[in-house]
Amino acid sequence: MPAAPPEAPPASAILPDVEPGGEEQPVRLRLATLSVVGPVRETNEDHVGWFDAGGHDLTGTPDESARFAELAGSAVGLMVADGLGGHGRGDLASRTATRIVVQALALAARPGPGDLRSALELANGALLAGELDGATDRRPGPQTTAAVLVFAAGSLHVAHIGDTRVYRMRDEVVELLTRDHSQAAELVRMKVIKPHQARTHPGRHLLTRSLGGDLVLRADTASRAIYPGDAYAICTDGCWGGLDQEHFEAALRAEPAAGARDLVAQAIASGGDDNATVAIVHVDAVGSLRDGDGPDRSFWRRLLAGRS
C-alpha cells in the first residue's frame, strides 16, 4: 500500500488589491487537484506541482481526496506529469521533473515561453543523466509526460510533451489546447485512421515524444490570452482516456474540487485501469486585462455568450 500523503500545507495567501495608479493586480486562480492510483496499479506515477507568489507545493504521494488552493501573484503556474511505467521508475521521473520545472519557473521574474522551455530542458537533462529524486543509482532511462501552464499578465503560456492534455472552457465552449504525442494521434493527423479509431488503437499509449526520451527536447509551446471566467482541466491519460466532451463541460462548470472528483470518478467508472490525475483551474483575475477581441476570443463567441 502507498504511504499516507503528507498533510496539505495551507493555501497560499491571496495578495491584496492595489490602489489605482499602483502596480497591476495579480493573477488570481482557484485550483483543485486530485490524483489516485486507480483500481489496478500498485503505485501512482503521476505528479502535480504548482507555484505562486507564496512559493510552490508538490504533492508527493497519492492523495485520494481533492486538494484546493487559492493562488495569486504576478505569475502563477502548475505542472502535471505522468511517468512512463513501461520504462521503469516512472514515479521518480515525474516527481523529479515536476520539482525541477516548478522551482525553475518560480525563480523567474516573469516566466514566458522561453522560460518554460528552459525549465523542461533542465528536467530533460536530469532524466537523461539518471539524476532522480530518491534514487540510489544514476541509471538513465525513466521518462515522463509534462503539461506546464503559466498564467501571467493576461496571458497563458503552455508547454507540453507526451499525452497529458490541457482543456479550456470559455463562453461555455470546451476546447482541447494540446495535441497528443502518441502513435495513434500521429496516425489520425496523417489521416490513416479516424479519430474514433484512436480510442482503441494499440498505439494510443505509445508515445512519440516524452521528457527524458530524447537528447533534444521536442516540446510544443504556445501563448494565449486569458480572461476572467476561463476554466482549465489538465489531466493524464488515465483520466481523459475514457471521457467525452460532456464530462469536461459538466466538470468545468462546477467548483474546482467538485469537478476534479467528478472527472476522476467518471474515468474509473468507464473502466480506466491507470493512475488518474486532474488539476482544474478557474481564473478569477488575469493581472492586466487584454482587449476582448483577442485572437482566441472571437466576436461571435463573445456575442453569443452575452459578453462585451
Range 266-279 average pLDDT:
84
CA distance 30 to 253: 13
Q: Do 170 and 229 meet the contact criterion of CB atoms below 8 Å apart?
A: yes
Examine the pLDDT at 65 and tell me if it is beyond 60.
yes
CA distance 280 to 42: 25
Closest CA to 218 of 227, 209, 226: 209
The least confident of 63-72, 100-109, 284-293 is 284-293
How far, CA to CA in Å, does 2 sit from each of 62, 80, 86, 144, 265?
7, 20, 19, 20, 20
- For residue 182, the 8-state DSSP code is B
- Where does 27-304 sit in CATH, by number? 3.60.40.10
pLDDT level of residue 185 (50, 70, 90 thresholds)? low
pLDDT given for residue 144 in this prediction:
95
pLDDT given for residue 3 in this prediction:
43
Examine the pLDDT at 242 and tell me if it is beyond 90.
no
CA distance 201 to 187: 10
Residue-range domain boundaries for the chain: 27-304
3-state secondary structure of 44: coil
Range 59-71 average pLDDT:
75
Other C-beta atoms within 10 Å of 200: how many? Answer: 8
The least confident of 193-197, 269-273, 293-297 is 293-297
Examine the pLDDT at 27 and tell me if it is beyond 90.
yes
